[in-house]
Structure 1
Amino acid sequence: MLKNSFTVFFVLLIFFSCNSPKKEYKEIKKTAINSSYPDGYVGDKNCVSCHKKETNLWKGSHHDLAMQVANDSTVLGDFNDVSTVIDKVSYHFYRKDGGFFVNIKEIDGSVNDYQIKYTFGFTPLQQYLVDFDKGRKQVLRVTWDTLKKRWYHQYKGDIIPQHDWLHWTRGAQNWNTMCAECHSTNLKKNYFIEKDSFYTTYSVINVSCESCHGPGEKHLQWAEGDQKSKDYHILNSTTKIQQINDCAPCHSRRSKLTQNLTPGLTYEDQYMIQSLTPNLYFRDGQIMDEDYVVGSFLQSKMYHSSVKCSNCHDPHSMQLKFQGNTLCLQCHINTVYNTPKHHFHKMDTEESQCINCHMTGRTYMGNDFRRDHSFRIPRPDQSVKYKTPNACTGCHKDKSDKWAADYIVKWYGSKRRDHFSDALILSTKPSLSAKEKEKLNAFITDTKYPYIARATAIENMQITTNDDYVSLLKTLNDSSALVKYKTLQKFNALPLEQRASIALKHIADTVKLVRVGAANLIIDLDLNTLQEPERSKAVAALEDYKEMLFASADF
């Protein structure tokens, strides 16, 4: 399935490349990484004089230390003539002329030395970047565990041959494609298809003020002027939607719709979030693979009750605002929830912590434990039926899911609250009864449920009859752009005439994601058969679609 998807992608990319006016590429300075401030970006040094408190909170944060030039004060790994062999790959870490180097002997016997140019992160792990040809930078597989002070491999035990995309010298560990946008400010990837080369630039090496607040030039002019205007010319995200637009580009698993990324712009005009796909998420929507938080947060009752990122996290230090249950008790009544009558565990223990029941987690990148932000009530009854994880047996590993489910009934009764996960699981079944189809059709149109769950259910749905298509017509006009996009995708198997009839109603949608979904239905349509203004709208939508393809041409 994945292979076929890549095939379709590259066929379309070649089609659009060959049928588009020749793009004139400006030569970019081959000092691929620069320190100038284009596009109105002035750098964090111009912010500190007025914003000392925020700057001090930001200093030393994950954003501040996202990427640094490798030197004695930034490199945490042991490069003092240390050797190790991991998964049949030999490493020797050493210093030379003030620099940091690694000698790597691959499993095929090839040996190369690389100089460490940059660091990524600082805790619980630190990664290292080296230079390759054609403007590429690659992230070493070998990683420094800053907690245990040791070298290790992510995905330990996997023997990855050098021709594999997952090998550290290839696509999966390519900085320009996979990492750069979320580790630096005003990152311009600048991938040129004709040369298969990158001329990647950024304004500031790390995630600094303007990554979130946008370019500061006009704000600086306002600050240095009479300050009479109430337009500060700076982004200040205060609502949950604004914070999703601000944070989700880097804190979600997603694909890009454009190469021209703009801080604060509506998320669905720049990105498409990854749906709750099996193998990336469990069938009930719990995290499995890395989803970078927002995909699970959008499922939560918290998000739908207008809870936003900054209610729990300080936006500058990234730290939690409070420790322990105090964080949750900002909203939840202490006497109702912070008591053994609710959680049935001894007070002031790990077992009595809200997050250990409602925010279970998984370890990624070898040692980085991250919590599920869907804030769900444990459902061991679902685990019994569908083998999904639950918080109870996550701690009580010597007990069965049935044991946990029985205790839930004993403590809280036999009735479970209505939850979208029941319908989401239903959508993954290979075949449905008439009653199950009716339930699923009701779910995908009910906006009280999370839109990411409804969109995923639509993606999972098996279309076997014309009646199945009829049931999707309602979601074509959903309030969620993602739901509309996933619905449009389901009509792709219809004959061209029917596809075009549906697509032409959505090619001028106000949200780019929907326009891209509509354009996908009319790729093979002769636009000369359309009258104005439909023809111009279709041309514009296909330009959006082409832009999406080029945005990921290097992937």
Structure 2
Amino acid sequence: MARSLLEQGQGELAWETLAARVRPDAEAHWLLSRAALQRGDLQTAESALSEARTLGFDDDPMRVEPAVYVGSDRCVSCHGEIGRDQQTSHHASTFTGVADLDQLPIPDEPLADPEDPEVIHSFRRDGDQIIVETSVADERFELVLSHLMGSGHHGFTPVGIDRFGNVVELRLSHYAGDVGWDLTTGHLPRPGFPSEFLGRPLPEHEQQSCLNCHTTHLQTNSSPPQFTVLEGGVRCERCHGPGGNHLAAVEGGFSEPAIVRPRLGSANQVVNLCADCHRASESGPQDESSNPFLVRFQATTFVRSACYTQSPTSAKFDCVSCHNPHRNVETNPTHYDTVCLSCHSDSRSNDFARASRQPQDLASTLFCPIETTQSCVTCHMPPRESSMRHTRFTDHHIRVQADLEGLDLTDPRAEE
């Protein structure tokens, strides 16, 4: 109850709830510190935090705060350059709401279905709405677009509401480059019902799963479940947690920042944070990392690499070792080769081998017998076909690739 109240910014009520029932419990005292913080009582907040630590509450930098969301614009007001970079990244534009649907390049003429030319899809604007109509023989099915999934970098998948109120993922997606409109990934070439030529109805659990990874602040109302996107895209508070307590801590001079700090987390914690979205579902194939299904989910395959499993804890080798989380991925292989060579070089080999405590096994593998100063990712992390149509992804299981022959390693569409 106290957590729920704090998440709504009701520090006073949370304090009353906790103060009436608090026991010599570390977590309860930590929550008291947050309630006092929201009330503006910094002295009591410091005292409760000190008591929580005395009772064994650990200072985990990855702990999500029970706080209200403040929005990325508020973050930018203090963290200017980083915030502005993040707001212009692909991550930040992975969801497009109804007010910005003009980003979607709708076709001027009807489109024949990519799998059945007798089925026709038409798009039209009606005021502020975009309506899609699909004709199957003598039947017509229609929906009104509500939002887009995807940043447009690889493509957009439209989602809409049909005449019965169902949330429907459109059968057609718009892919980047010269591809244009084609079948949405995961849709059957021949649907079981004529209505599914319009699109695939999304059950509630799938709606939530999609929105969890394409939005930052999602409000869920039950009975029946309804989802309201309060901030779309992957923005500041998606990774750092809600920032209400952080603002109170900074403004009041609290002894800790009260925000998730991935920079101080362990490699495993950082990878797990990214894996919230970049991990494959358990229902898919899990065996070979180069499987088109798995290659799309970097956090699933990266943790299989020897670079990750054999790196010493002090190396903190994780996703942000190569990627700036506030910007789009680098596309120049030299950037990544430099990261590889920071460990796999003569000057680092002895230190790295000692730190790993496997000097005989590991030291002999530190040097590439083919190329010692460049082309690391070109050979060991090639772009591969993925289960997402018209899209290739980098293979993040860093290893000797046994099947490189025939792969176009210079494909400019290979992306993170």
TM-score by length of 1: 0.50
Call closer, same or farther: CA 1:295–1:335 in 2, change over 3 Å.
same
Task: Quote how far apart the aligned CAs of 1:177 are.
Answer: 3.9
8 Å contact from structure 2 (residues 217, 229) kept in 1: yes
Q: Which residue in the other structure is 2:328 paired with?
A: 318
The residue number in structure 1 matching 2:184 is 154
Q: Does 1:231 align with 2:256?
A: yes
Supply the distance in 2 between the matched residues of 1:353 and 1:164 (Cα, whole angstroms): 49
Residue equivalent to 2:76? 48
> Does the CA-based 8 Å contact 1:237-1:243 persist in structure 2?
yes
- The match for 2:292 among 273, 288, 292 is 288
Measured after TM superposition, the shift of residue 75 of structure 1 is 2.1
Alpha-carbon distance in 2 for matches of 1:359, 1:172: 36
Note the alpha carbon deviations across 1:111-136, whole angstroms, 9 max, x for none.
Answer: 12322221222112111110247875
Matched-pair contact (CA < 8 Å) for 2:167–2:202: no
1:287: Cα distance to partner? 3.0
Q: Is the aligned partner of 1:144 residue 2:142?
A: no
- Judging by fraction of residues, say which structure has more strand: 2
* Counterparts of 1:189 and 1:298, CA distance in 2: 32
Q: Does 1:80 align with 2:108?
A: yes
Could you say which residue in structure 1 is the equivalent of 2:405?
A: 392
Question: In the alignment, does 2:198 pair up with 1:198?
Answer: no
Cα deviations across residues 58-115 of structure 1 (Å, max 9, x unaligned)?
1232221111224567523224344333212311122221332211124x64312322
> Identity of counterpart residues, as a percentage?
21
Letter aligned with residue 315 of structure 1 = P
2:338 pairs with 329, 336, 339, which one?
A: 329
Alpha-carbon RMSD: 3.6
8 Å Cα contact 1:359/1:376 also seen in 2: no
Counterpart AA for 1:244: V
Letter in 2 for 1:288: P
Secondary structure class of the residue paired with 1:315 = coil
User: What SS does the corresponding residue of 2:130 show, helix, strand or coil?
Assistant: strand
The answer to whether 1:252 aligns with 2:252 is no
SS at the partner of 2:96?
strand
CA separation of 1:302 and 1:214: change in aligned 2, threshold 3 A: same
Secondary structure, counterpart of 1:327 in structure 2: helix
1:392 is paired with a residue of what secondary structure?
coil
Contact 2:337 2:376 (C-alpha < 8 Å) held by counterparts? no
Q: Following the alignment from structure 1 to structure 2, what is the Cα–Cα distance between the partners of residues 73 and 137?
A: 17
SS in 1 for 2:199: coil
CA displacement, residues 200-234 of structure 1 (integer Å, 9 cap, x when unaligned): 23431222211110010011112322x2x331010
Question: What corresponds to 2:238 in structure 1?
Answer: 211
Say which of 99, 117, 121 aligns to 2:146. Answer: 117
| Aligned equivalents of 2:89, 2:130: Cα separation in 1 | 24
CA contact (8 A) 1:40 1:218 kept: yes
2:173·2:182 contact (CA, 8 Å) conserved in 1?
yes
Please point out which of 151, 160, 164 is paired with 1:130: 160
Contact 2:94 2:215 in 1 (8 A): yes
Structure 1 residues 109, 391: CA separation in 2 closer, same or farther (over 3 Å shift)?
farther
Give, in whole Å, the separation in 2 of the partners of 1:136 and 1:65: 25
| Structure 2 stretches lacking a partner, 5+ long | 1-65, 348-364, 410-416
The equivalent position to 2:388 in structure 1, one of 359, 365, 385, is 365
Name the counterpart of 1:69: 97
1 CA distance for matches of 2:225 and 2:241? 24
In the TM superposition, residue 163 of structure 1 has moved relative to its aligned partner by 8.1
Structure with more relative contact order (C-alpha pairs < 8 Å, separation 6 or more): 2
Count of residue pairs the alignment pairs up: 313
| Cα distance in 2, alignment partners of residues 186 and 300 from structure 1 | 33
Range that drifts further, 214-223 or 134-143: 134-143
Aligned to 1:374, which of 397, 407, 411?
397
Contact 2:213 2:234 in 1 (8 A): yes
Sort the Cα spacing of 1:374 and 1:152 in 2 relative to 1 into closer, same or farther, 3 A. Answer: same
Letter in 1 for 2:292: M
Q: Indicate which of 155, 176, 183 corresponds to 2:214.
A: 183
Query: CA offsets, 1:453-491, max 9 Å, x none?
Result: xxxxxxxxxxxxxxxxxxxxxxxxxxxxxxxxxxxxxxx
Q: Which amino acid aligns with 2:211?
A: A
Q: Which residue in the other structure is 2:43 paired with?
A: none
- 1:140 is displaced (CA, Å) by 0.9
CA contact (8 A) 2:67 2:245 kept: no
- CA deviations on 1:356-377 (whole Å, 9 max, x unpaired) are 4433422332122112211111
Q: TM-score normalised to the size of structure 2? A: 0.65
| Secondary structure of residue in 2 paired with 1:53 | helix
In structure 1, distance between residues paired with 2:108 and 2:211: 28
Runs of at least 5 residues in structure 1 that lack an aligned partner in the other structure = 1-37, 255-273, 380-389, 397-555
Q: Report the residue type matching 2:257 in the other structure.
A: Y
